[in-house]
Amino acid sequence: MTLQGVVIHSATPKPIVELLNREIRKAFAEPDIQSKLIELGYSPVTTTTEEFDARTKSEIDKWAKLIKDANITPVN
C-alpha cells in the first residue's frame, strides 16, 4: 500500500488549504476519475486535511521507530 497526497507549504492560509481539499475531493468523486484511478491500480480514498496530517505523522513515527530499532544508517 502506498500513501499519496497533495502537500503544500505549511504557511498556506487555511481557507486556501480547505478550498484545495474540497476541490480535490470533488474531482476524485467524479465517476470517470474514480474508474481511471481504479484501472491504474489505485484505491482512491479522500480525507480531510486533519486526517491526512494524522496519517502522515503516524507513518513517519512508525518508520522512524523501525529504522532506529533496526539500527539502519544511511549509506554515503
- Span 6-65, pLDDT tens digits: 999 999 999 999 999 999 999 999 999 999 999 999 988 899 999 999 999 999 999 999
Query: pTM here?
Result: 0.74
How many residues are listed for the chain in this entry?
A: 76
Question: Quick one: pLDDT at residue 64?
Answer: 97
d(CA 76, CA 74): 6
Question: What confidence score (pLDDT) does residue 9 get?
Answer: 95
DSSP at 8: -
What pLDDT does residue 2 have?
Answer: 78
Whole-number Å distance between alpha carbons of 26 and 30: 7
Matching residue, cell 507513518: 59
Q: Which of 54, 49, 57 is nearest to 19 (CA)?
A: 49
